[in-house]
Amino acid sequence: MDDMIVMQNVWKAYPNGVMALNGVDLSVKEGEFIYVVGPSGAGKSTFIKMIFRELKPTRGKIFVNHKNIANLRERQVPYFRRKIGIVFQDFRLLPKLTVYENVAFALEVIEEPPRMIKRRVMEVLDLVGLKHKMRSFPDQLSGGEQQRVSIARSICNRPPVLIADEPTGNLDPETSWQIMDVFKRINEQGTTIVMATHNRDIVNTVKHRVIALEGGMIVRDEEEGAYGYEA
């Protein structure tokens, strides 16, 4: 299978002198599901932000979907982002929009035709099991439901890669399993998933490849790995 994400000798130094990544090499195959684990300050966030080009590497190459995004021109970034789904710990929904509108918003701002938007929004809401809540506002939903809306929004443009930064960080254990269930369905449709997490139970139960970062370096890379840190 093809490589979806490839990092070649990636370094990242922040202006304040902190070295967040020190020569990371990695390749993630199309359709793979990987966990990125590691203690706080290990470079997880930097690693994640690098993949959707919120940050540029100081040195090295990053290929996402066969495109080197390290030297991507600024005006090309929006078009690149359309092929990446991003999910955050804090959901990032717009409080004044309904569930339906929140998902449709992502398609409206990239100027998709309205007919297509309607169909696609219903499709993804169905996938995350929230079709019946489409008229609710975010504050009327539970945390888990809000995260599912945000997942629906992230995949509505059919991205080949989904990046999740601590998606269960704000959720109770039971809700977290629902989220993993949604991810599993998305992964089964062929979407590559990169998930940064602190959730040991999930990593140890739903077995996938585990990448452990420490001090800005990959210290462990195991298929069907375990979380491996004491709680």
Partner 1 sequence: MVMKLRTLQRHVKESFKSLGRNGWMTFASVSAVTVALVLVGLFMMVLFNLNKIAGDIESDVEVRVYVDQSATKADQTQLASSLKQLKNVQSVTFQSKTQGLNSLMKSLGNDKNVFADVKSDNPLPNAYILKTKQPEQTASVASQAKTLPHVSDVRYGQGTVEKLFHVINIARNVGIVLILGLLFTSVFLIANTIKLTIVARRREIEIMKLVGATNAFVRWPYFIEGLIMGVLGSVIPVFLVIVVYHFAYYNLGGNLSSMFISLIPYQTMTTNLSLLLVGIGAVIGVWGSLSSIRKFLKI
User: Is residue 33 a contact partner of residue 208, using CB atoms and an 8 Å limit?
Assistant: yes
The alpha carbon of residue 76 and the mean position of all alpha carbons in its chain are separated, in whole angstroms, by 20
Q: Which of 157, 170, 185, 220 binds partner 1 (CB under 8 A)?
A: 157
Q: Does 182 bind partner 1 (CB under 8 A)?
A: no
Separation CA 149–CA 220 (nearest Å): 33
Q: Does 80 bind partner 1 (CB under 8 A)?
A: yes
Separation CA 214–CA 38 (nearest Å): 6
114 versus 173: smaller Cβ distance to partner 1: 114
Separation CA 121–CA 102 (nearest Å): 10
Q: Does 131 bind partner 1 (CB under 8 A)?
A: no
Q: Which of 1, 17, 73, 109 binds partner 1 (CB under 8 A)?
A: 109
Interface with partner 1 by CB under 8 A: which range of 11-19, 77-85, 137-145, 186-194? 77-85
CA neighbor of 65 nearest in space, from 6, 1, 151, 153 = 6
Binding region for partner 1 (CB under 8 A): 52, 54, 75, 78-82, 86, 92, 94, 105-106, 108-111, 114, 153-154, 157
